Amino acid sequence: MSLSSQHVFRNRREAGQFLAEKLARYRHRKDTVVLALPRGGVPVGFEVARALGAPLDVFVVRKLGLPGRSELAMGAVAGARTRVLNDQVIEQYGIPAEIIEAASARARRDVERREEIYRAGRPAIDVRSKIAIVVDDGLATGSTMRAALVALRELGPARIVAAVPAGAERSCKELERHADEVVCASAPAPFYAVGAFYHEFPQVADSQVRELLSLADSEHKPARAPSG
């Protein structure tokens, strides 16, 4: 796992450029794709993909927020089948199974809806036998990234690289069980919040995600799998 000292970024664009430097060995490889976790990971992933000369796509994962404390993840879902639960949080707050199941069902519906919105009819990038670099704007508990990596492994990539500009050291290390390589560009201890690593950390709109994906897609159409 690659770790470096604390770095505060001006915004997600700068963070993506900084992260791309840590991934320079994958530059201009035809077998490399970048998968960004929306929404905050997309501006970061866009800069990584641009610097590496790689195609960009989204990998939609939805966090399962704790009832009454949505910012605290009790797990996450990705795709139609994959769910990763944070057993420590669930046990600590005594979350019943029916609450978890209801939240999971809502999250899966949202995953399907968001994939349609973001891709606007474009097929997903084919990751089979590719190096898949999964990017987010930061890593706190790691449940969202873990769900993404577990789901992605089922699609048959040759190598999975989890990459974030900033992350909690413990969470970054835990990802080693699910990724072939983990790159946390900044991982100080103690870790407080992802937003603390950014001077500007606004919400990312769905329209911005679509615009960035469309721009990236126009440069890498051959990398996408045929529709149908």
pLDDT at site 226: 44
Segment-wise mean pLDDT, segments of 10 residues, the chain, 228 residues: 72 97 96 96 98 95 86 81 86 95 92 90 91 96 89 92 95 95 88 91 96 89 48
pLDDT at site 222: 53
Q: Which CATH architecture has domain 2-61+126-223?
A: 3-Layer(aba) Sandwich (3.40)
The Cα–Cα gap between 146 and 206 comes to 23
Q: What is the pTM of this model?
A: 0.84
Ordered by start, the domain boundaries in the chain are: 2-61+126-223
Go through the chain and tell me how many residues it has: 228
- Expressed in angstroms, the distance from the first to the final Cα of the chain is 38
